[in-house]
Amino acid sequence: MAEHTILNDEAGELLRRRSLKEGVFELVHERIVAGQVAPGEWLRQEEIASQLGVSQTPVREALDMLVSVGLAERVPYRGVRVPALTAEDIVDAYVMRLIVERTMARLAALNISPAALKELAAVMEQSRPLVRLQEMSLHRQLNRRFHLAIARASANALLVKLYQMISNLFPDWRLYEYMFRHPELLESSLERETLEHQAIVDALSVHDPELAEKQVVAHIKNLSTELVEFLGVPAELLSQKERQVGIL
């Protein structure tokens, strides 16, 4: 990250308001989502600590957090970098999301509690006003929290672990990053996502497993259009993998 300057007035204020670990995490998270740190680029612990004027301990902890949410990967004996994924990597993660999240939705519709429904509604309420490019890092975190809440509502602990592993491999941050280069697409994309999330919550609230599965599959399949248009993933490769798992 030598060519990128992390510290500015806004960054300094963030570090003062948050714990050092969380502040560093937010700053680097925002820059990855904004495309200021490219896929494959190394996140040098020493450089980040020097730029921010903090010790290496909170930076190391922040990098661990980035690894845990899929925005970074740790390479043994080399360090931490932003993942550089192939089209096949992306499609495999996409298909696994289809497989796992449709099951999550069915089980959640049968087992979801009023408290879990309230949590989903709260996450949507927090997400709705986040419409500026500068808010996309937080929007991404809330989006992941929305889907994780559905996983937890399934009442299947192993399914929750599977979802967390798969979601960390799916490069949703690359889709957000694309918005920074094409801000004219931001409003329509966020509007569609909000409507789809609401449709999922509505299906869960009436405990309809077939409808919940249908809405989740439709939501994730819409991501395939963005994978093709935004990231250049071959459409035929996506269709082929969908057919293999029986999703048309």
The answer as to whether 20 is a domain residue is yes
Range of the domain at 166: 87-244
Same structural domain, 27 and 131: no
**Do 96 and 44 share a structural domain?**
no
Question: What is the average per-residue pLDDT within 15-36?
Answer: 82
Band (15; pLDDT cuts 50, 70, 90):
low
Q: How confident is the model at residue 8 (pLDDT cuts 50, 70, 90)?
A: low
Residue 4 in domain: no
Task: Indicate if 42 and 143 belong to the same structural domain.
Answer: no
Domain end among 66, 81, 96:
81
Shared domain for 212 and 171, answered yes or no, is yes
What is the average pLDDT across 129-140?
90
- In this structure, are 149 and 173 located in the same domain? yes
| pLDDT for the residue 19 | 80
CATH number (domain holding residue 18): 1.10.10.10
Question: Does one domain contain both 44 and 147?
Answer: no
What integer pLDDT is reported at residue 162 of this predicted model?
Answer: 93
Residue 199 to residue 124: CA distance in whole angstroms: 12
Residue 60 and residue 94 in one domain: no
CATH value at residue 111: 1.20.120.530
- Given 81, 103, 120, the domain boundary residue is 81
* 44-60: b (≥16 Cβ within 10 Å) or e: bbeebbebbebeeebbe
User: What's the mean pLDDT in 200-217?
Assistant: 98
Whole-structure pTM value? 0.82
Whether residue 93 sits in one domain with residue 75: no
DSSP H helices, 112-233, are 114-127, 136-153, 157-169, 172-181, 186-205, 209-231
Q: Using 50, 70 and 90 to split pLDDT, how confident is the model at 67?
A: very high
On whether both 135 and 68 belong to a single domain, the answer is no
pLDDT at 3 over 50: no
Q: Does residue 191 sit in the same domain as residue 97?
A: yes
Of 61, 81, 101, the residue that ends a domain is 81
Main-chain phi, psi angles of 73, to 5 degrees: -135, 145
Same domain, 103 and 62: no
- Alpha-carbon distance of 169 to 71, in angstroms, equals 9
SS3 category, 76: coil
Same domain, 222 and 116: yes
Query: How many domains are contained in the chain?
Result: 2
Is 3 a member of any domain? no
